[in-house]
């Protein structure tokens, strides 16, 4: 299920994105970026419609994915 980012309180959205962007396995290239920069980039992607937040009932977790990937998954 897609979580409309603008339906979340700003503080909750920021905490959710912080958890997502700091997960093991996230890769931001050769140079590591500060967490705040990662969060701001994620928020910009959501606002510009390039990415969406998906909720997975099985794992009870949210993920940030590209809009195209979400469409491939049928969302």
Q: Model confidence over 21-47: pLDDT tens digits?
A: 988 766 666 677 889 999 999 999 999
Number of structural domains the chain divides into: 1
Q: How many Å is the maximal CA-CA distance in the chain?
A: 34
Residue 25 has which token pair?
Answer: 């396995």
Q: Which domain holds residue 15?
A: 2-72
pLDDT over 90 (residue 8) = yes
**Full-model pTM:** 0.85
Confidence of residue 63 (pLDDT cuts 50, 70, 90): very high
The rounded percent of the chain whose pLDDT value lies above 90 is: 81
Q: The domain spanning residue 13 has which CATH number?
A: 1.10.10.610
pLDDT of residue 27: 63
């Amino acid at each position: 299920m897609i979580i409309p980012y603008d339906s979340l309180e700003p503080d909750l959205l920021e905490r959710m994105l912080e958890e997502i962007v700091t997960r093991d396995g996230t890769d931001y290239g050769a140079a590591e970026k500060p967490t705040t920069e990662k969060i701001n980039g994620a928020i910009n992607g959501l606002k510009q419609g390039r990415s969406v937040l998906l909720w997975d009932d099985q794992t009870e977790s949210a993920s940030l994915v590209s809009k195209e990937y979400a469409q491939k998954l049928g969302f």
